[in-house]
Amino acid sequence: MALKDTLKQKIEEHRPRTTKLTKEFGKVIIDQVTIDQCIGGARDIRSLVTDISYLDPQEGIRFRGKTIPETFAALPKAPGSAYPTVESFWYFLLTGDVPTAAQVAEVVAEFKTRQEVPQYVFDAIRALPRDSHPMVMLSVGILALQKDSKFAAFYNSGKFNKMVAWESVYEDATDIVARIPIIAAFIYNLKYRGDKQIAIDPTLDMGANFAHMIGQSEQYKDVARMYFILHSDHESGNVSAHTTHLVHSALSDPYYAYSAGLNGLAGPLHGLANQEVLGWIMEFQKKLAGAEPTKENVTKALWDTLNAGQVVPGYGHAVLRKTDPRYMAQREFCLATPGLKDDPLFKLVAMIFETAPGVLTEHGKTKNPWPNVDAQSGVIQWYYGVKEWDYYTVLFGVGRALGCMANITWDRGLGYAIERPKSVTTAMLEKWAADGGRQLS
């Protein structure tokens, strides 16, 4: 069965579960809210539903119930590669089923029919000052595609119907996932390769074609596949996924929604941390002036950052309380890659891994002193020659499109409501604090 038909069946089978929960069990209490959560970024409040991924604080992410190693092991591999194609992962995220090789081939072929980016998108990006941040370019590129939104056209057709609205979200979502690496490659070539553009290779899967389009090596094809899959989804409360969900909940189409999500990803506490990590490392290397990194000089650099009131980029997490398994997956990739495991930058990242958790624990602020995904990703890009670290968040954004687009397709399939939490005033909090939090009226 084709992906969209499978998805249709899954959504229709799932709907009664959601209806039953709201109609029969809608008033069952699953959480409570405290003043520190209210002021402190809604941390840990259970108020979002997704079945696409789940983040356990100790274990880390599971995609559709599978850990990262289980996901990589289960999915069919790209030809001649130890890694799955991004297309097979897209099928898996959307449906929860591991696709057959034939189903993957269908998705790869479908992406080919969708990946042509209209010239006006490139023109819009070219019209920006060349020193604009590449995340601005990516967000503009996605937004520029909006005029062709199938969801917006369906909404405006006068035939809008909630039961089938997800189908046009799926169409836009798949277009975005197929086109975003093409836009990302265009930005890379425009900004860093003197506008030397490379045409799509219609024989290659998404990750391999991205490598080809930025003029990269054969080995980088697996880096791209791994990178996009690892960065895809982190349940739905993170800033980029939540923003995308929130904006789409107003029935703004997937282009508006993901452009907004990307703007959230561009924050230094979120996706931009990967560029901050490389910046921090480069600054530190400069100070070393050729000397070897040691536990002592890394400790000092970490304290200098903390004493200057800055965060150590790549460390800490709002939910995780252990080393991020996405960090470990990338570290294992480095350790298994001859050359990379002896690379001076990897050795420095490994030394920071040995040192930072102790320093952060002694500093005593962060609830999680362990590395997150961003602490390890830049060194791989650098090793393969993608050295322009202000571009790293764009790579994150290409991967994150998979999770955000799968999520909003299901949001529409299950008819999730416009998001609208209730706000309160400081005086109300003060009154409830004085009353011991009992009279919530």
Q: Which is nearer to ligand MLT, 225 or 270 (CB)?
A: 270
Tell me if residue 317 is catalytic.
Answer: yes
- The partner in contact with residue 433, picked from ligand NMX, ligand MLT, none with C-beta cut-offs of 5 to 8 angstroms by kind, is none
Is position 323 an interface residue for ligand MLT (rule: CB under 6 A)?
Answer: no
Q: Min. distance of Cβ 222 from ligand NMX in angstroms? A: 22
Q: x-or-dash pattern for ligand NMX, window 258-287, by CB under 6 A? A: -----------xxx-x--------------
- Output phi, psi for 53, to 5 deg: -150, 160
Interface mask (CB under 6 A) for ligand NMX, residues 225-264, using x and -?
----------------------------------------
Residue placing its CB nearer to ligand NMX in the complex, 249 or 366:
366
Binding-site string for ligand MLT from residue 356 to residue 375, where x marks contact by CB under 6 A and - marks none: ----------------xx--
Using alpha carbons, select from 253, 406, 326 the residue that is nearest to residue 59.
326
Near ligand NMX by CB under 6 A: residue from 17, 20, 147, 365: 365
Taking CB under 6 A as the rule, does residue 277 contact ligand MLT?
Answer: no
> Is 270 marked active-site?
yes
Contacts 24+ apart (CB under 8 A), 213-218: 213/181, 213/182, 213/185, 213/189, 214/185, 214/188, 214/189, 214/386, 215/189, 216/384, 216/385, 216/386, 217/384, 217/385
Among 107, 185, 345, 373, binds ligand NMX (CB under 6 A): 373
Alpha-carbon gap, residue 403 to 161, rounded angstroms: 25
Look-up: residue for tokens 């975003």?
A: 180
Number of residues that bind ligand MLT (CB under 6 A): 7
Residue 248 known to be catalytic: no
- Checking 245-252 for CB contacts under 8 A at 24+ apart, the result is 245/48, 245/404, 245/407, 245/408, 245/411, 245/416, 245/419, 246/419, 248/169, 248/408, 248/411, 248/412, 249/411, 249/416, 249/417, 249/418, 249/419, 250/418, 251/155, 251/418
Among 139, 236, 238, 337, contact with ligand MLT (rule: CB under 6 A): 238
Cα 350 to the chain's mean position, in Å? 24
- Active-site pick, 317, 324, 342, 343: 317
What's the min distance (Å) between Cβ of 242 and ligand MLT?
9
**CA–CA separation, 356 vs 331, rounded Å?**
16
Smallest separation (angstroms) from ligand NMX to the CB of 253: 25
Contact range with ligand NMX by CB under 6 A, out of 195-203, 206-214, 364-372, 410-418 = 364-372
- What is the SS3 assignment for 56? strand
Binding mask 243-272 for ligand MLT (x = CB under 6 A): ---------------------------x--
Residue 173 near residue 248, CB atoms below 8 Å: no
Kindly write down the DSSP assignment for every residue of 126-190, as one continuous string.
HTS-TTS-HHHHHHHHHHHGGGG-HHHHHHHTT---TTTHHHHHHHHHHHHHHHHHHHHHHHHHH
DSSP 8-state assignment for residue 327: H
Q: State which H helix or E strand residue 62 sits in.
A: strand 60-63
Q: In this complex, which beta carbon is closest to ligand MLT, that of residue 111 or of residue 333?
A: 333
Q: Taking CB under 6 A as the rule, does residue 424 contact ligand NMX?
A: no
Kindly tell me which residue out of 345, 374, 400, 402 binds ligand NMX, with binding defined by CB under 6 A. 374
Near ligand NMX by CB under 6 A: residue from 313, 378, 397, 399: 313
Q: How far apart are the first and last CA of the chain?
A: 52
- Using CB under 6 A as the binding rule, whether residue 368 contacts ligand NMX is answered as yes
* H/E element, 408: helix 392-413
39 binds ligand NMX (CB under 6 A): no
Q: Which is nearer to ligand MLT, 298 or 349 (CB)?
A: 349
Give rounded-to-5 percent helix, strand, coil for the chain: 60, 5, 35
Catalytic residue among 212, 270, 324, 411: 270
Please state, as a whole number, how many other Cβ atoms lie within 10 Å of the Cβ of residue 182: 21
Per CB under 6 A, which region of 56-64, 161-169, 315-323, 409-417 contacts ligand NMX?
Answer: 315-323
| Tokens 């999520």, located at residue | 407
Is 318 a binder of ligand NMX (CB under 6 A)? yes
Per-residue 3-state assignment (H helix, E strand, C coil) for 98-121: CCCHHHHHHHHHHHHHHCCCCHHH
Provide the annotated active-site residues. Answer: 270, 317, 374
Q: Where does this chain bind ligand MLT (CB under 6 A)?
A: 234, 238, 270, 318-319, 372-373
Q: Where does this chain bind ligand NMX (CB under 6 A)?
A: 269-271, 273, 306, 311-318, 365-368, 372-374
